[in-house]
A and B are shown apart, each in its own frame.
Chain A
Amino acid sequence: MQKKICMIGTFAVGKTSLVRRFVESIYSSKYHTTVGVKVDKKIVRVGDEETTLLIWDIEGAESEHELRKSYLRGASGYLLVADGTRQDTLYKALTLQTRAEEAVGKAPFLLLLNKSDLADQWQITSRDLAALEQKQWNVINTSAKTGHGVEEAFLTLAEKMAEKLNG
């Protein structure tokens, strides 16, 4: 089984780092801007079935207009990434989600609050979290640097996609 998933978020929130951590178990603090998209692949097990995740690491988008719908086309799910140390990236993630839903419909997704290793610079407030809870969003704190939550995030998404297919 193959599934296309997308990484969505603004610049420098750590989309590429999360993919590298998940696929290659590598972290580099060097910042690289992704131009266009980079496709990666990882095989995961969901239940008894092997699923090949084709991960489209899409370039950072500042606003919903910058997010190219064509890259999202055909995705079975997506990971919305925000930088926990920059509150504005969370708000941008919210608008990007609307755009993503326009493109792929009601596909499973998760919100990742990345850079959880930088606890002292954390800007996400409990009010933010409450609002997200009200939206019934799945939120996972991740750190591409330490690997915290990364595997969990991808696997959870894979499971949700499998549920959607079966249910």
Chain B
Amino acid sequence: MMQSEAPELLDQAPPDTSSNDEENMAELRSLLLGPAEKQLAEVHTRLTDPRRQMEEVSRVLPAAISVRSRQDHDLTDALAPTVAAALHQSIRKDPQPLADAIFPIIGPAIRKAIATALNGMVQSLNQTMAHSLSIQGMKWRLEALRTGKSFAEVVMLKTLLYRVEQVFLIHKNTGLLLQHISAPGAKAQDADMVSGMLTAIQDFVHDSFATPAGDELEDMRVGDLTVWVERGPEAVLAAVIRGNAPEDLRAVFQETLEKIQLQFGMALSEFAGDATPFSATASLLEDCLEARYDSGSPAANVKRRVTPLTVIGAVLLIVVLIWGFFWLREVRRWNAYVERLRNEPGIIVAENGKRAGKRFLSGLRDPLARDPQQVMQDYQVNPQTVLSHWEPFHALTPEFVLARTSSLLNPPDTVRFSLTNGTLQAEGFASHLWVNETRQAARFLPGIGGLNEERLLDLNRIEDPLLRFELDRAELVPGQQQSLDLLTADIKRLQSLAVALQKSVRLEISGHTDGTGSGARNLMLSEERARTVASVLQARLPTFANLTINAVGSREKVREEVTENDRASNRSVTFKVVTTEAK
């Protein structure tokens, strides 16, 4: 006011001038204004003298700038184009001073930028490698397969430090939902009901635990999710956060809530169920949808890899793998062994399990079957780890019946056994004694229904009969034709059986005499008698060449000579079958 009025007064002075009045006026003025006149003149100089003005403005300028800057940004706005133009001008004129000025900043800044970029590249490379090759990566891939999410999504969820997935703006008094926003991809339930339930839970907690006024439920945690609740005077902001959010995020929520209270205070007070005025809060709430991801710094990765826990884990894993290998091998060997036993004739496995830390095996075993202990060696099963119990039994399979029969009857090597429909087939030739015993025993052997002797020759049939001779002559007593026929037939049978059994047989013909007459004569006579029979047999059996004769005279008597009949029996030839291996 002063500044604008003062010049007006001064300016109006000149039009009033008249020659006489001028002095009076000057006097009046000096009277009226007196001391102020000097001040007015001073003010006048200050206003008109540019130098003074400059001095004065320069005195208040710094303070004025700082006062104004504190008030608002208008000054900055006003100065910005000028400063920009000045800089532009200065660089155009001579870029050197500016280059010199910013040189100390620009070097480190560039280095930092390059380092950050490289670091980021290395990190993302590391992360990709780590995630695709590590066990964790495999696990995540499996999880992706299982849940049907993409691998990238799983990696994102796992490396997520935190993410605000949903934000509810709730009317405090009614618990009704005013606004709800969710992060892209986040699963959102019926927000109206969630809002109501959230309010109900707060009421429930507040009432149930009689907390002092002002103490309210601040957060809820379920697994990976946390619900943070911030309260304003009329609205509640609830944020659903996955992961661990830093406490300073609360400040963001609180700030948002304050802004909403400020802008929508009226609407909040008047709210009666119509949420449309609050659709505009969405943009404010979006500031709350924050997320931070684990950058997985390489240093941390390296550290993690060499922790003692990792080493122990790796050692344990190796131990488990080795143990697993041996365990698996042992199991396979054992199973193969048991399988072998199951297929082994004469062995029936009844029980296969574990007892007192050892493997246990029990069942039935024919004494003629293979020894399970021996089989165990074939399969490299350690006998120390096995308890077995075998009950003896008689297996009735043909091979066992045969084996058992052979071991009991002990057949000579000129007899072969076989089994046909439970009937024992004996093939070959043997002494009368053995044939008799076998006939008896065959009736009591388990698994044997009878004895077939069709191809069994009792050697008595050849060795028992005598061919008698006339007194003191080498001529057969007449009427022995039948005996000769039988003998011939039996020798033929013997011959064919020997061929079948790959044996060679020789028939020894011994000539005998009675005890009368001289020894020399008797010896000669006995030889003649043997020759006679030999030639008779040779004529009957042209293919049977293996005949030997043996002259024993009266040395080996067929019978002790008491009666004439005994002497007649001694005038004879006898036979013996000698078996040798076929050549």
Chain A residues at the B interface, C-beta cutoff of 8 Å? 1-4, 36-41, 51-52, 54, 56, 68, 70-71, 73-76, 165
Number of A-B contacts defined by CB within 8 Å:
66
Q: Tell whether A54 pairs with B192 under 8 Å between CB atoms, given A75-B174, A76-B273.
A: yes
Q: Which 7 A-B pairs have the closest CB atoms?
A: A74-B174, A39-B196, A70-B203, A74-B173, A36-B204, A37-B200, A2-B176
- Of A2, A4, A70, A71, the residue contacting B275 (CB under 8 A) is A2
* 24 contacts across the A-B interface (CB closer than 8 A): A1-B273, A2-B176, A4-B175, A36-B200, A37-B203, A38-B197, A39-B196, A39-B197, A39-B200, A41-B190, A41-B193, A52-B192, A56-B175, A68-B203, A70-B206, A70-B207, A71-B203, A73-B174, A73-B175, A74-B171, A74-B173, A75-B174, A76-B174, A165-B273
- Of A2, A73, A165, the residue contacting B173 (CB under 8 A) is A73
Chain B residue with minimal CB distance to A59? B204
The interface residues of chain A, by DSSP majority, are classed as strand
B274 CB–A CB distance under 8 Å = yes
Chain B residue with minimal CB distance to A36? B204
- Of A54, A74, A75, the residue contacting B193 (CB under 8 A) is A54
Q: Tell whether A3 pairs with B196 under 8 Å between CB atoms, given A41-B190, A74-B174.
A: no
Min distance, Cβ B156 to any Cβ of chain A, angstroms: 32
Inter-chain contacts of B105 with A (CB < 8 A)? none
Apart from A4-B196, A38-B197, what 17 extra A-B contacts exist at CB < 8 Å?
A1-B274, A2-B274, A2-B275, A3-B273, A4-B175, A38-B200, A39-B196, A40-B193, A54-B176, A56-B175, A68-B203, A68-B207, A71-B200, A73-B175, A74-B171, A75-B174, A76-B273
B272 CB–A CB distance under 8 Å = yes
Inter-chain contacts of A4 with B (CB < 8 A)? 174-176, 196
Inter-chain contacts of B174 with A (CB < 8 A)? 2, 4, 73-76
Contact B200 A56 (CB under 8 A): yes
Chain A residue with minimal CB distance to B176? A2
Chain B residue with minimal CB distance to A71? B203
B177 CB–A CB distance under 8 Å = yes
Contact A56 B274 (CB under 8 A): no
- Of B197, B203, B273, the residue contacting A2 (CB under 8 A) is B273
Inter-chain contacts of A2 with B (CB < 8 A)? 174, 176-177, 192, 273-275
Min distance, Cβ A67 to any Cβ of chain B, angstroms: 11
Min distance, Cβ A58 to any Cβ of chain B, angstroms: 9
A40 to B192, CA, bound (A): 9
For chain B residues 188-202, which have a beta carbon within 8 Å of chain A? 190, 192-193, 196-197, 200-201
Contact A39 B274 (CB under 8 A): no
Inter-chain contacts of A71 with B (CB < 8 A)? 200, 203
Chain B residue with minimal CB distance to A70? B203
A76 to B208, CA, bound (A): 24
Contact B193 A39 (CB under 8 A): yes
Chain B residue with minimal CB distance to A76? B273
Inter-chain contacts of B196 with A (CB < 8 A)? 4, 39, 41, 54, 56
Inter-chain contacts of A165 with B (CB < 8 A)? 272-273
